[in-house]
Amino acid sequence: MSNLTHFLPQIPEPDTLTLLTGTRETTCTFLLHHFLANAINEGLEVFFVLFSRTLDEHVIAMRKWGINITKQDNFHYVDGFSTLFAPNARNFKLHATNGKNTIRTVFQPLVDKLQLAKSEGLRVITILEDVDVLLGAKALDTSQLSSAVFELSKLSSRFVLNITVSTSLPQQISFAHQINNLATRCISCRPLPSGTTRRITGLLRLTRGSLYAKHAVDTEDDIEVLYEVMESGAKLVPKGEVSLQI
């Protein structure tokens, strides 16, 4: 049974940016789904922007959380995946085609939706899935993408994004450092130093971001736990209790 809410808030606090970082071996998709599921259940207007997976993949995953996201009136998605990998697949998509793009061309569909929601006084959360894919696709450079995230975060009272980092991905590392300067909370997932262990996926670390003091989020300075990804969430295990899980 998932116990993520013992260590993490169900949804981020208002006026916060939550940065999630993972690796190719330890992705943080389950954290995106954690915030997505709880935000939908809490009645927030959820704007989900996809870059590395199709909506169908997330629909299947979210059914294991007991939610059919396609049936939720407060769920909205922007399709960046099709533009990058299947340009003719959908009519509604982001425009990410060359290095000259700006926030207004790449994210215009999202900007329009967020501005409308803000004008109506709605409670909004924006979740960007694997937005660093734009760096690999050379749609935006690191500075442009960081500026885009900053501008978008001002239109959404709660903002969550994930980045895949690796020593072989220097642009992503630089981008993660820049976003950390905008973040209130940072959650990282990484492999165990000793390698794979049965029933333990990796290490999850929760830290305060650079803007923690400004928003006074109720978060411990530094928490690190072991975790096991499950079909609908994850089981988090304090390090001292790992022997009970192996």
We report the CATH number of the domain holding residue 225 as: 3.40.50.300
Contacts of 71 (CB under 8 A, 6+ apart): none
Domain that holds residue 174: 4-244
Give me the pLDDT at residue 140, please.
80
Each residue's pLDDT tens digit, 3-56: 777 788 899 999 999 999 999 999 999 999 999 999 999 999 999 999 888 899
**What is the layout of strands, in order, in the sheet containing 202-208?**
75-79, 45-50, 124-129, 158-164, 16-22, 185-190, 202-208, 222-230, 233-238
Q: What pLDDT is attached to residue 113?
A: 87
> For position 88, what pLDDT does the model report?
38
Q: In the chain, which stretches have pLDDT less than 70?
A: 1-2, 81-106, 195-197, 212-221, 240-246
Let me know the angle formed at the C-alpha of 75 by 4 and 150, rounded to the nearest 5 degrees: 75
pLDDT at 98: 44
pLDDT of residue 195: 67
Q: Which residues does 28 contact at the CB level (< 8 Å), separation at least 6?
A: 20, 21, 22, 162, 187, 188, 189
How many domains does the chain contain in total? 1
pTM of the model: 0.86
